[in-house]
Structures are given as C-alpha cells and as structure tokens.
Structure 1
C-alpha cells in the first residue's frame, strides 16, 4: 500500500489560549527541587522500570484492549532470554505534583480528582463508579511512576548515549487535557527536563512512530523552533487532531493496513531526512507497537519482524551520528506485544546498538 507524505517546514505558528496550557502552568524553577533526576549506579544498565508501572484495577483493566501488565511482561520476557542475568535496571521515582506542574495546569491536575475524568482518559467507563482514591492508587500512580521513568531515561540517554523506559510514551496528553489512555504528558516533561538541566543541549527531536498521531506533545510544542517532530501515523484513526498537526515538522500519514515493505521504506527515508534537516542533540523515540498486524486500534499491518527492523533502523541512524536516544514503549494493544518489544530490545543488543552488559 502507498502512503501520503507531507514535509512541513519548522516554522512559528500562532497559538490560541484555549488550545494550549494556561500561562500559570509552567513554573520552570520547580524543576530544581525535583527528585526525578537521580544517579544510576555503574552496575545498572540504562533501562528504566519498576513493578509499580503495572495496572491492577480490580479486574476492570480487562475491559480495555490494552495489556495492563505489558510493562512487567516485557521485563519477564527479557529475563527469559537471559538478557538481565546479573545486571540491574534503573528504578525511577514517582513524578510529584510539583514535577507535573512544569507542564500541566493546576486546573488539569485537579480534574484528575474526579473519577469520571479518569474514566474518560483511560477509556474504561465503569471506572467512573470507583472512589477516586482507588483510581489514584491503581491507575494514576502507575502513570506517575512511568512519567518519572521517562524523565530519568532522558538523563540516562544524555549520560550514556541511549536509554529505554519500559513504560511511558503518553503522547495524547498535553498541558490542559488527557485522553487515549494518557493522563500525563511524559514526553513534554522529559524534553523540558533535558533543556532545563543541560545548557549545552538546545535542539531536541521527537520521532513518533506509534500508530496514532502524537497530538499531546504537538500541542505542547506548537511554534517551538528548538523542537522537531517527526510523526508517522494511520491517518484514519484517533485522534485526527487537525490543529495539532500544525506543529509537525515532518508528517507522514499512512493508509490503513500499510504493510512492512512500504512502512519500513518510509521509516528509512524520513528518519534519515529528518536527522539531516534538523541535526538534533537528543532524540526521543516513541516506539509504539500498535502498528502490528491485528491491533484493533492501530489498524496497520506491520509484522513482528517489521517492528524489530523499524527499531533497528531508528537506533542505527541516530546512534551512528552519536546522538543520545530515549526509547519509550507507548501504545500496543495485543497480548503478544510485550514479547515483541523484548525481541526488539534483544535485537538492538545483538546488533551492538545498545549495550546490555553492566560495567
């Protein structure tokens, strides 16, 4: 199948107040008090995970097609491959309200104290009937740990050249709104932390290869010349956010059921083109696996091997330029997804694009 491709120059855009975060939402100095940027020991590899990533919502999580223990299952599959023998992963801290206020408005964070709003974001309608205390503990706390993991992965990538957060990639959430199973804007927060903590880093690229348009970070970075967004997605599915598309620097819209050959050709061409065009100093790679054939929400037809090859292409092109890369696992709604992600990580290690030996 063929694809529609549009390359848009990175230019300033006018932003209306109702479309973006209110001005009081980003007190940058709060980041100095954060506990998210912790030091990882030399015995740890730059893969970030903790058991609290996983969601257990009294069985209600089964009402959503998402594997609510996907992140733990990725680690279990890596252990089965003997890839984690004798080595430690990095354990992140939970993002606090002060951390989240670097991106989110106070009014948005208050809205999460209403169960009906959390139910809408997670797309599990019965959750609206649960006490908010339960949702805070069983759903939002895991999301906050994953958000902290993404931020920490940004630091690790700058220090070690690469990192993988086993969770994160909540690309449908922006400063004022959540949706699509995304309650916190971890990609935006990760970029802010990098730019605020490293004075020598001035250009960040987001490569979003999830099946869905990454409208959250696009709205957050509307008009920013220092942020380059490559987004390749199925043009016929959620969210189809026309306004957010204005922020995309390189837009590749796919037809439904695009297969490996066409898909991988686009990845190769446009990742190379974007890197040549912008020359980033850090890359955030949103590696959604909902592009896989059979995914009821992504509606693309990329094979398991195609996903492994996609990740290899991205890492190879970024790392050959010695650019730090952060990988987030993002969407992927089938029970086999975790095993595919583990296979891909194993392949990156085999191809020496990452090094999973402790030093």
Structure 2
C-alpha cells in the first residue's frame, strides 16, 4: 500500500489566542489525532521545515517581511490580519508556508500530497488580511516555478475569494488562479482571478458540485497544468459559522473526490491544503475537514474508515 504524504507540525495548534477568538486554532491537532485514530500510519506524516525569507521574498515585499517578523508592523495592519503579534505566531506561519511548499514538492514525487494546514490566500505582497500573514499557496507556486514546474493551477474552493493569490499572479500567465467562492462573503472587495465563480448565499450540493466540475474540467483542458494546488476549504459547509452556503458533508466529500479523481485520471500531481472552516464545535469541524482525507484514501483504495 502506498499512502500519500501528510504534512503536519504540532506547532499548528499550539498558538495561544485570546478566549473566544474567532479562529479555530485547535482544528489542526484534532485533525491529526482523528487521522491516527482512523488507522493512518504514523510514518505517513511528514514534519515540514520553515519557509526561508528568500522563499517568502519570491512573493512578498522584503520590507513587509521584515516588519512583520520583527514585530514592527503597525497596529492597524496587525488588526487587519486578525491575530495578536507574537514570535510564536511568526514561527508557526513560517512553518505552515514551508509545509505547503513541501506538500507541492511531494505531490510531484508521489502524485498526491495533503497538508494539514495551509490556504492563507488573503495575504497580499505587502500586507496580510483575514488571518493570513503570508500567502503559502503563492509562495509554493513561486518556489516550484523556480524549480522548473512550467504551469501551475491554484484551484481555490474556500468560500472566501482568494484575493491575495489573484492579485499576486495577475500578470503571470504561467500560474493560473481560480476561485469558487461566496458572492456575498469576505472580502468585500474582490480581486480578478483568471477564473472567478461567485456562488449565491444558500447554494446547495447539486449546483455547487456542477460548478466545481464544469470549472475544473474547463481549466484542466484549457491550461493543462503540470501541478494543481487545491485549497479544499470547508467553510462552504451548511453549519459553518462564516460560510453562508449550504453544502452538506456528503457534498464536500463529493467535491474532494471529484478534484482528486480528475487530477489522477489526467496524471496531474495534486497538492491539497485544508483551507478555511469556522465551526466553533471542533469535533464537528474536524469531521468535515476529514472528508478530504477520506476522498484521498478511497481514491487510493486504502483501508481507513472515516465516516461521512
């Protein structure tokens, strides 16, 4: 049996946040523990290395990197990010960006790799936003581009538009940005991706899955990417506190199966990150994030029992 690499670091959930903070920081540890409990072998998990400043600077302004890493970013800019500054926050962010880089590199080797973090797509070149300090998807795309990958598709299914990714790659025809997101959701000011599909509030399984299938098939046929970076956000879920869509757990599983199968059928390496999900009930949220891994394991015919 060939298990896909699963990239995870214990620091992902170790960040201390104020009581009742909106960000569900415990979900990464909960997801890791749930996968172990479901029978995933421990040696599948890969501990990432931190992204370097050189790698960050492929996307981000060095002045922004320095100000953020040194704690000199002004209060208003940190408020837009949504986290109180700490050295641990910076180290965690660097490790998560490094994790997405490694996920992409391992996907090229194995065909499929999954990151138990990632999807920080609201970070722009010179500012952070919406719980995103650095744009891991963008940095990973740039690193892989430098390493010789010709064309990369960022297929973003988080409920919030990948505005940072869209603007960063607006003038790069080799990195294609695609975002399927809630029309009436954050960010209020959308950027122009190469492919944007804004979904109405209350969108349910059938129209959502049709949108994903048609978008993905069109983009893969048109661009024939050498790598897909997939943001498998679950804030589209009907119980998500911030999502405004009405996709079921079964619908999320079907979406993830569709993306994985399409890429496998076409032999396109797929690197997936878990993206957003904002239920306060951590057990319920973890169960929804697990669908990405269930889709991967079913596709590879691996003996793991994860409920839908």
Q: Is the structural similarity TM-score above 0.5?
A: yes
Residue in 1 aligned with 2:226? 281
**Offset at residue 228 of structure 1 (A):** 1.6
Match of 1:136 in 2: 87
- Name the counterpart of 2:256: 311
Instruction: Find out whether 1:162 has 2:112 as its counterpart.
Output: yes
> Quick one: distance in 1 between partners of 2:77 and 2:97?
16
Alignment of 1:199-348 (within 5 A): 201-242=149-190, 244-245=191-192, 248-334=193-279, 335=282, 336-348=284-296
Shift of 1:331: 0.7
Distance 1:353 1:298 in 2: 32
Count the aligned residue pairs.
298
Cα-Cα RMSD = 2.2
Residue in structure 2 matched with residue 186 of structure 1 by the alignment: 136
Separation in structure 2 between the aligned mates of residue 117 and residue 144 of structure 1, nearest angstrom: 22
1:189-234 per-residue CA deviation (whole Å, 9 max, x = no partner) reads 1011111112xx2111110000000011111101211122221100
CA apart distance, 1:117 = 5.1
How much has 1:123 moved relative to structure 2? Answer: 2.2
- Whole-Å separation in 2 of the counterparts to 1:354 and 1:265: 27
SS at structure 1 position matched to 2:5: strand
After TM superposition, the score normalised by the length of structure 2 is 0.90
Partner of 1:177: 127
Higher relative contact order (CA closer than 8 Å, sequence separation 6+): 1
- Equivalent position of 2:22 in the other structure: 65
Residue aligned with 1:63, SS: coil
Give per-residue Cα distances to partners, 1:61-84, cap 9 Å, x unaligned.
x43322102111111111111122
- Structure-1-length-normalised TM-score: 0.78
CA deviations on 1:279-336 (whole Å, 9 max, x unpaired) are 1111000111111112222211111111111100111111100000110111111122
User: Which of 78, 83, 104 is the matching residue for 2:35?
Assistant: 78
Larger radius of gyration: 1
Contact kept? 2:3, 2:302, Cα under 8 Å: no
SS at match of 2:233: coil
Give unpaired runs (5+ residues) of structure 1. Answer: 1-42
Separation in structure 2 between the aligned mates of residue 306 and residue 353 of structure 1, nearest angstrom: 20
Match of 1:110 in 2: 66
1:225-246 C-alpha deviation (Å, 9 max, x unpaired): 112222110011111334x21x
